[in-house]
Chain A
Amino acid sequence: MKYLANVATLTLNKDKCTGCGNCAEVCPHAVLEIQDKKAFITDPDRCMECGACQTNCPFEAVGVDKGVGCAAALINSMIYGGEPSCDCSAPQEGKAKSCC
């Protein structure tokens, strides 16, 4: 299953990449692979922008605009302001409810 085409913000700077393999290890959709000692983006449409690759790259070679792919979170942040987050709740009574 793939989501919308050509929207993912994933970028890779091959000059900075050392081929350490961290990004390929953490990606839950096998978007990144190591080929010829460098990271390689197999299919950007599979990227869900979770940010795992970016957080675990020691050389700042991968970049992604990390965020939650959740309509409710984005609508809440449009209405109430603030960062969209996986809270499943409007900031009522200052109490965050657990979700998921």
Chain B
Amino acid sequence: MTTIPLKLKSEAGLLKLNEPAPIWTTGSVATPAGPVYKALTSLSPQDCREHFRCRISAYRDNFIVEPGIYAVGSPDENSEVFASANYKYSFDLLRQSLDGLNGWILVLDTKGINVWCAAGKGSFGTVELIKKISDCKLASIVSHRRIIVPQLGAPGICSYLVTKKTGFKVYYGPVYAKNIPAYLEADRKASPEMRTVQFTIKDRLILTPMEIIPAMKNYPLFALIILLSFGLQPSGIIFRDAFYGGFHFLVLGMLAVVSGAFITPLLLPAIPFRSFAIKGWLAGISTVFAYHKIFAPSIFTSLPLSVVAYIFFPAASSYIALQFTGSTTFTGMSGVKKELKYGIPAYMTAVVISLILLSAYKLMEWRLL
């Protein structure tokens, strides 16, 4: 086993007496390396509010836990050590699932990013894990040499290198923290179910707000273009025309967001084809068709406008649906690259054709064509 360098200054995560304790801690535990905060294993109403805000907004910034070591329950030198990211959401899920157990949590500095994304970037990685094991003097806190790392951290962690450098053997825990008690019960063996990621309808539903909100960011620009182009007359901008002419396009724009960012993610396995671009396009064209048939709005009496409706909105829905690849648990880079290779030229063509047809419609309206 390698020797752990001793440092005299206060170590990250070990209790800092002159700072107020985080509200999710309850006192401290003495260790040979100094006192360590004891984390609560239940969430306070404030924690839950933070989690909710985190699902619907960019409040995700600075949602962090100070990296270092924390205690759960009344751990001793034989208790297990669990590695975590310093994204507070990840940390909260872990401490919650350790309720009733005694253990240590080693929080790596992942810059507030969750285990999976941080492992992809490498901040939840071999170097950081080795550094934290040494900085927190883990070898003096526990007498065994085991560390349980979440399986989704595996892309960043080279287990045999960690063992070589620190003497600690990496045990990959289950994908989901909630399975930790069962995993420990089975002597640190994860069943095949515990090893695979799921992507249930509930998982997908929770992700939809963060698909809809970014997609809506472009909506004001879209609305402006529509209102301007419908309102524009040789005599200036007529607001009545802008609204009556543009209204159905504004609704269709909203429907494209709904179909790409909500319907497609939700019905993902039920929509045919594996490509997200095609799934989104199918959902989009179905909504345009439904809107056409149910409300039979006036725009569909004009040939150029109905062509625009059937070209532009399904393409927009497809583009928005493609963004969902960033939130799934099963899309790989080569696949997304392939979709973009065919998708981007197709989207650009759709936009250009739509603009040409819209201009043609205006020229016809002004009897110039």
Binding site for B on A (CB under 8 A): 1-5, 7-9, 22, 25-30, 46-52, 55-56, 58, 65-75, 78, 84-88, 96-100
Contacts and interface: CB of A to CB of B under 8 A. Distances in A.
Nearest to B115: A100
Sorted nearest first, the 9 A-B pairs with minimum C-beta distance are A67-B333, A70-B326, A49-B332, A69-B331, A52-B154, A26-B154, A4-B335, A86-B117, A7-B334
Contact of B332 (A25, A67, A86, A98): A67
Interface string B261-296: 000000011000011100000000000000000000
B332 A69 contact: yes
14 contacts: A1-B199, A4-B275, A7-B338, A25-B151, A28-B151, A28-B152, A55-B154, A69-B328, A69-B332, A71-B322, A85-B121, A97-B61, A98-B61, A100-B114
B53 to A, nearest CB: 14
Interface of B: 58, 60-61, 63, 87, 111-114, 116-117, 119-121, 151-152, 154-160, 172, 175, 190, 192, 195-197, 199, 268-269, 274-276, 322-323, 325-340
B332 A8 contact: yes
A7 B335 contact: yes
Contact of B336 (A28, A29, A70): A70
Contacts of A7: 332, 334-335, 338
B330 A86 contact: no
A86 B120 contact: yes
Nearest to A53: B154
A74 B40 CA distance: 39
A97 B269 CA distance: 31
Contacts of A30: 192, 195-196
Contacts of B329: 28, 48
Given A9-B334, A98-B112, A100-B117, 18 more contacts: A2-B330, A4-B338, A22-B159, A25-B151, A26-B151, A28-B151, A28-B329, A29-B330, A46-B330, A50-B332, A51-B120, A56-B154, A66-B155, A67-B332, A67-B333, A68-B333, A71-B340, A73-B326
A56 to B, nearest CB: 5
Contacts of B114: 100
Contacts of A55: 154-158
A87 B42 CA distance: 30
A25 B335 CA distance: 24
Contacts of A50: 119-120, 154-155, 332
Contacts of B338: 4, 7
Contacts of B158: 55-56
Nearest to A31: B196
B330 A48 contact: yes
B155 A71 contact: no
Contact of A75 (B113, B154, B340): B340
A49 B172 CA distance: 19
A71 B323 contact: yes
Contact of B334 (A46, A65, A88): A65
Given A46-B330, A69-B332, A100-B117, A25 B172 contact: yes
Contacts of A74: 333, 336-337, 340
Contacts of A100: 113-114, 116-117, 327
A75 B322 CA distance: 11
A72 B323 contact: yes
A28 B196 CA distance: 4
Nearest to A23: B154
A65 B155 CA distance: 12
A47 B197 CA distance: 12
A51 B157 CA distance: 10
A48 to B, nearest CB: 4
Nearest to A22: B159
Which of A71, A73, A87 gathers the greatest number of chain B CB atoms within 10 Å? A71
A58 B114 CA distance: 26
B104 to A, nearest CB: 23
A72 B87 CA distance: 21
Given A48-B332, A55-B154, A99 B337 contact: no
